[in-house]
Structure 1
């Protein structure tokens, strides 16, 4: 399951690859260490702290609040992705795989105690406001985030659709600046497609939802049809994709692979060990494939990039990915609560763990601004423009400059990384036909 952007379930990075098990699934198969006797001295200390707080804290605190806060602290102390989910957060986690939620449309984590943007989601208030992966959120409506728990920070950023919030950001070590954003009810479109040029398609996945694999299959069929039956090449854009459902990542990878392992997970418990392999079909019919990644490419999207890279099915282009290679299991508890617990790491077909390292692109291409010159022809004239010029030796038609037509702007015209990916596809297609 995909943790909900700007919700309690998000917690640190909200990039969890989640499965749902019964509350006793792991306990039944735990190792000897998990069954060891509880440390009585530490339990006495815990009870003593609880008693002191109840007796001496400046305001009365009930036992339920203290115990729930203790549980939250216990989970948050394990890693950035494990969490205690109260009923509202648990419901949001279950609903979020549909791609519908309220908020800003941003994935966040924590760095040195400060909230950090992992990735803005396409076509959301955060993306439209210009928030970028890597931005540090140092204030929320004027209140510093330093020292705030991630859950508290997320709560402050949530709110009713239509309400406004001001985030103070620091980008690339520069000076702080404010961004005002209007919260919205957001429905994320997981898959987008279009033709870049004749024969060359573009497919963007914004995040991995339950039905993303099916949507990608339909989008590829439509692109093949638009290309006249077969694409000459495809750019798969996973930039700023924060991840999501594990099964969706497997299904997307399977669309491009004919055989072999896609991903496997490994943990202490046998229930956490899974293996996924490709079925014998390739939607692209082995046409060249370039995958774009960047620092906002995380979790499930890293699984896809890693599998295609290991099988040499695609050229990975862009910059290093985020490096979130752990799997979270959702364990339902009593009273509509749950634990989101890190139970495994995932590995690429060549046994690579992406955790804290990420995917390194085959070809590094930094983000850059593309500017187009007015005209690179000599004074705007060609031989065919000159009066009395000779005709073509093979009888071909003249091509004077005055016949140039204004070209409609295309996505690759203003996106340097996409432009380079398309050029690489063309080169691969030419060499394949030699």
Structure 2
């Protein structure tokens, strides 16, 4: 019991010391809440005694020796795991991986994951990565990694297992739509994510795809908009945020600002005063108010939802697709003094109209499920102008049926949601012209 009392005293001292130390080590120091500073707040002595007693029992009675450092690290992980799915204790490798991911280059499979019922759930695969090429889909549940069950693993442990040297292989056991488990073999690669991609759908109608929100995504969007508007003939834009897992908050603000010239974009609310932030648009709008459709789905999360919610609340764009993921919480990375960090949920996001994104997501203005566009050859048929001996039109213009040879498939030919977005943009322009 002497050892227990000594350790209990150390834990009580620790309760007073940890807060200020963490605040000093953060990149954006956060004040300790008033209730945590008050000396009148009683310490949970019974729980502290239980904690120390459990630790002492493990040290003396567990079948194999366990050092104190390991026990304390496990206790820290347990504290974070018990909060919410997005708070985590980052060991050095995980901390570096997080920094690499937000900079746009990292090693692994290229999937954003969360946790559900003890399994690892795919929020979205990232375009042009091993996971996307292997057919991993948003909503898939990963139940085994290289034959080892993931049940009981923390999300960070699972991520560490999926990372590895480029060129090495990994087998994931996946369940999709309550079906039977199946295996997918993937080859790890250095994942270099180009966060912005554009193409022309039809003359005057452009497509912009955002795969992630990285530190430079806002600048990339502005550059692409300037290119698209260089000739002044841009009639409409489809902004594709489907399967975009989010990323850096500031990047989301900058992207939304690229399509707005005034008004609130997003605000956050938390317990600490510096977690209550408001971000507003500037008076520069490189999109020059061009008609927009934003595509979203269940893989659109976090920063994607901020952008979609802001454009929806301001009436700047028509939001089309299916409901988003619903991750409306803010994670702050708090570096510690041993190359480790806490990723801690510190606030919630709200759209300009005060809607909480958390566990609700963004509901589209026009709900369109994903499908594949196929041409009905029976619709081609024949026309009057194809009939022998038909009467001529007095204008001299006749349009017989022309069967064009199959050409290269365009993006909108294979993607029903994109096809519908393009049709809507054309309709909006026709209405404008006639109005």
Q: Normalised by the size of structure 1, how large is the TM-score?
A: 0.90
1:241 partner SS: coil
1:338 aligns to what? 341
> Aligned partners of 1:27, 1:403: CA distance in 2, in Å?
67
Question: Residues 322 and 158 from structure 1, CA distance in 2 versus in 1: closer, same or farther, beyond 3 angstroms?
Answer: same
Q: Which moved more, 1:366-375 or 1:208-217?
A: 366-375
Q: 2:23 touches 2:31 (CA, 8 Å); kept in 1?
A: no
2:96 aligns to what? 91
Q: 1:194 touches 1:223 (CA, 8 Å); kept in 2?
A: no
C-alpha displacement of 1:230: 3.0
2:31 aligns to what? 28
RMSD over aligned CA atoms reads: 1.9
2:420 partner SS: helix
1:201 aligns to what? 206
2:69 aligns to what? 64
Please give the per-residue CA displacement for 1:248-292, whole angstroms capped at 9, x wherever unaligned. 100100111111000011111111111110112322222210000
> Aligned partners of 1:146, 1:354: CA distance in 2, in Å?
28
1:152 aligns to what? 157
C-alpha displacement of 1:307: 0.1
C-alpha displacement of 1:151: 2.4
Question: Residues 272 and 402 from structure 1, CA distance in 2 versus in 1: closer, same or farther, beyond 3 angstroms?
Answer: closer
Q: 2:201 touches 2:411 (CA, 8 Å); kept in 1?
A: yes
Is residue 123 from structure 1 mapped to residue 128 from structure 2 by the alignment?
yes
Question: Residues 95 and 157 from structure 1, CA distance in 2 versus in 1: closer, same or farther, beyond 3 angstroms?
Answer: closer
C-alpha displacement of 1:83: 1.2
1:428 aligns to what? 428
C-alpha displacement of 1:390: 4.7
C-alpha displacement of 1:305: 0.2
Is residue 82 from structure 1 mapped to residue 87 from structure 2 by the alignment?
yes
1:186 partner SS: strand
1:393 aligns to what? 394
Match of 1:100 among 96, 100, 105: 105
> Aligned partners of 2:203, 2:396: CA distance in 1, in Å?
27
Q: 2:330 touches 2:346 (CA, 8 Å); kept in 1?
A: yes
Gaps of 5+ in 2: 1-21
Is residue 368 from structure 1 mapped to residue 368 from structure 2 by the alignment?
no
- The 5 A counterparts of 1:201-240 are 201-225=206-230, 228-240=231-243
| Higher RCO (Cα < 8 Å, 6 or more apart) | 1
Please give the per-residue CA displacement for 1:173-198, whole angstroms capped at 9, x wherever unaligned. 11111111111111011000001001
Question: Residues 22 and 216 from structure 1, CA distance in 2 versus in 1: closer, same or farther, beyond 3 angstroms?
Answer: farther
Match of 1:266 among 258, 266, 269: 269
2:185 aligns to what? 180
1:401 partner SS: coil
C-alpha displacement of 1:389: 4.6
Rg larger for? 2
1:359 aligns to what? 362
1:16 aligns to what? none
